[in-house]
Amino acid sequence: MEITDKDINHLADLSNTSLSSEEKEALKQDLGNILKYIGKLDELNTDGVEPTYQVFEMENVWRNDEIAAQDANREELLNLTKEEIENQIKVPKVL
């Protein structure tokens, strides 16, 4: 499958990643080749086959509704961010 400039820009948007024009060119090539390879699956008939998303037989795994101590507290978490104002994370204005 051919990857067009439009495709690559759309994928960059979906991936929320700004790319240089050189990188876009390179990725166009790479992604085209990769998609060509994975297109191989079309050879295989999967009619009536159930999909598998997880490889274990467990169901109904849940915890009790009780407040419990966590592995890191607010200070430890907020220390990881670049900018913080009064215990909130600062980001450029959201329009």
Partner 1 sequence: MKIADSSTSAVSLVESSLKRIEETKDYNIFTYVDKNRALKKAKEIDEKIKRGETVGRLAGVPFALKANFLSKGRPADASAKILTEFISPIDSTTTEKLEAEGAICVGCVNLDAFAHGSSTENSYYGPTSNAFDKTRVAGGSSGGSAVAVALGCVEFATGSDTGGSIRQPAAFNGVFGIKPTYGTISRYGVVAMASSLDVIGFFTKAAEDLDILMSITAGQDPKDQTTLPDFYGKNDTPLNKKKIGFIKEFMESSALNPEIKASLESKLNEAKENGYEIVELSMPTLEYALAAYYIIQPAEVASNLSRYDGVRYGFRSSNVKSLDDLFANTRDEGFMRENKRRIMIGNFVLSSGFYDAYFLKAAKVRTLIIDEFNKAFESVDAILSPVSPNLAFKIGEKTSDPVLMYLEDVMSVPVNLAGIPAVAFPTGKSKDGLPLGLQLLGPRRSDKNLIKLAGKLA
Partner 2 sequence: MTEEKNQKYQITIGIECHVQLNTKTKLFSEVDNDARGKEPNSCVSPVDYALPGMLPRLNGEAVKTAIRAGAAMRAKINPMSRFDRKHYFYPDSPKGYQITQFYHPIIGEGSIILPSGKKIRIEHAHLEGDAGKLSHFDTYSLVDLNRVDTPLLEIVSMPDISSAEEARDYCKELWRSMIYANVTNGDLYNGNMRFDVNISLKKPEDKKLGTRAEIKNLNSFRSIERAVLYEYERQSKILDSGEKVVQETRGWSDATGKTTSQRSKEEAQDYRYMPEPDLPPLNLAKDFIDAEYSKCPKLPNDYRTEFKDIIPSDTLEILLDYPELVKVLSEINVANKPIGYISNLFASVLLAEENQSLLNDQLPTSAQLTELAEMKEKKELSSTSAKEVFVKLFEPKHASKSPRELAKELNLIQENDTGALEKIVDDVLANPATKKAQEDYKAGQEKVLGFLVGQVMKESKGKANPGAVSEILKNKLK
From the list 6, 22, 52, 87, which residue makes contact with partner 1 (rule: CB under 8 A)? 52
- Minimum distance of partner 1 from residue 5's CB (angstroms): 14
Residue 66, interface with partner 1 (CB under 8 A)?
no
List all residues 6 or more positions away from 37 whose beta carbon is below 8 Å from its beta carbon. none
Residue 43, interface with partner 2 (CB under 8 A)?
no
- Pick the closest to residue 80 from 92, 71, 89 (CA basis): 89
Calculate the CA 11 to chain-centre distance. Answer: 12
Residues 17 to 36 in contact with partner 2, rule: CB under 8 A:
none
From the list 6, 15, 21, 66, which residue makes contact with partner 1 (rule: CB under 8 A)? 15
Q: How many Å apart are CA 22 and CA 34, to the nearest integer?
A: 19
